[in-house]
């Protein structure tokens, strides 16, 4: 039962342009969302998060947008840099203030930034 | 300030053997999570442990898999009588608390290959 879906397995973008990664979820109880970035042979590293009380969170070149009615979130990277080439995982959890952080992960999107 | 340590990084086992994967959380972290990533898939939650306690093992297969996090020493994920389908990357993460908004820091993973 895949509750978090990343339907684009790969994305190619030119250096300097915007990368837009999408993530859909089915569980309306999810109230906290994260993006992780993963390089080959390494563990995922935290990138940015957003709680369900917000619809946007920005951190430098990274912005996450949340559309609760559509059960959709997206990650924007502007401008894209070669070092952004990695697999990006979307994750969601239930219980922002009550439960523990059991994350459900999407399958990931491989981003390739070309010169 | 060492991050999450996992060893071994690569483990090869024959069918029927036992696999033991170790995870040392970040200093000051008492919450450990194990995830499994099958080829072409995202990370799947397996188990959440605190020191000497299993908090949530809802993602663990019912048979052959066990996990512990003793008072002293690393967390261990143990797979008995391994089968080819157990071949995957196993990631451990740790956090300072179990709250969902606490970032989980991931180790580099152990890649298990079952021959």
**Closest Cβ opposite residue A102 in set B42, B45, B108:** B45
**Which chain B residue shows the shortest CA-CA distance from A4?**
B42
Q: What band does A95 get if pLDDT is binned at 50, 70 and 90?
A: low
Cα separation values, A4 from A24, A51, A53, A93, Å: 6, 16, 19, 10
Q: How far apart are CA B63 and CA A90, in angstroms?
A: 29
Region of residue B109 (phi > 0: left; psi between -120 and 50: alpha; otherwise: beta):
left
Q: Are B112 and B86 in contact (CB under 8 A)?
A: yes
A97 has a pLDDT exceeding 60: no
State pLDDT tens for residues B52-76.
899 889 899 999 999 999 999 999 9
**Cβ of A25 under 8 Å from any chain B Cβ?**
no
Q: How far A25 CA sits from the closest chain B CA (Å)?
A: 14
- pLDDT of B101: 63
Q: Taking CB atoms and an 8 Å limit, are A49 and B101 in contact across chains?
A: yes
A102 has a pLDDT exceeding 90: no
Please give the structure tokens belonging to residue B99: 């709250």
**Closest Cβ opposite residue B104 in set A51, A97, A101:** A101
Range A25-42 average pLDDT: 92
**Which chain B residue shows the shortest CA-CA distance from A89?**
B42
A86 has a pLDDT exceeding 60: yes
B10 has a pLDDT exceeding 60: yes
- pLDDT of A47: 95
Which residue, chain included where needed, has tokens 């203030």?
A: A97
**Which chain A residue shows the shortest CA-CA distance from B103?**
A46
Q: What is the DSSP letter of A71?
A: T
By percentage, how much of chain A surpasses pLDDT 70? 93
Q: Are A4 and A93 in contact (CB under 8 A)?
A: no
Q: What band does B87 get if pLDDT is binned at 50, 70 and 90?
A: very high
- pLDDT of A94: 81
Length, in residues, of chain A: 115
Which of A25, A89, A101, A110 is the mutation pick for testing B, counting most B CBs within 10 A? A101
Q: Taking CB atoms and an 8 Å limit, are A101 and B98 in contact across chains?
A: yes
B100 has a pLDDT exceeding 90: no
A98 has a pLDDT exceeding 60: no
By percentage, how much of chain B surpasses pLDDT 90? 74
């Amino acid at each position: 039962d895949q509750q978090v879906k990343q339907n684009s397995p790969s994305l190619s973008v030119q250096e300097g342009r915007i990368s837009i990664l999408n993530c859909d979820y089915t569980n309306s109880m999810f109230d906290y969302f994260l993006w992780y970035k993963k390089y080959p042979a390494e563990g995922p590293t935290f990138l940015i998060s957003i709680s369900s009380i917000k619809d946007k969170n920005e951190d430098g070149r990274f912005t996450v947008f949340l559309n609760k009615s559509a059960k959709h979130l997206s990650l924007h990277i502007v401008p894209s840099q070669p070092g952004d080439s990695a697999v990006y995982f979307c994750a969601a959890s239930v219980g922002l203030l009550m439960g523990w952080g059991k994350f459900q992960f999407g399958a990931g999107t491989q981003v390739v930034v070309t010169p | 300030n060492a991050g999450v340590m996992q060893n071994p990084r690569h483990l090869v086992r024959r069918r029927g053997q036992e696999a033991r994967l170790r995870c040392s959380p970040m200093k000051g972290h008492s919450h450990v999570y194990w995830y499994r990533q099958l080829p072409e898939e995202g990370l799947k939650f397996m188990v959440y442990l605190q020191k000497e306690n299993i908090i949530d093992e809802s993602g663990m297969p019912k048979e052959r898999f066990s996990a512990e996090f003793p008072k002293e020493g690393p967390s261990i994920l143990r797979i008995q009588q391994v089968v080819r389908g157990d071949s995957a990357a196993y990631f451990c993460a740790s956090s300072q608390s179990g709250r969902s908004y606490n970032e989980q820091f991931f180790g580099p993973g152990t890649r298990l290959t079952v021959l």
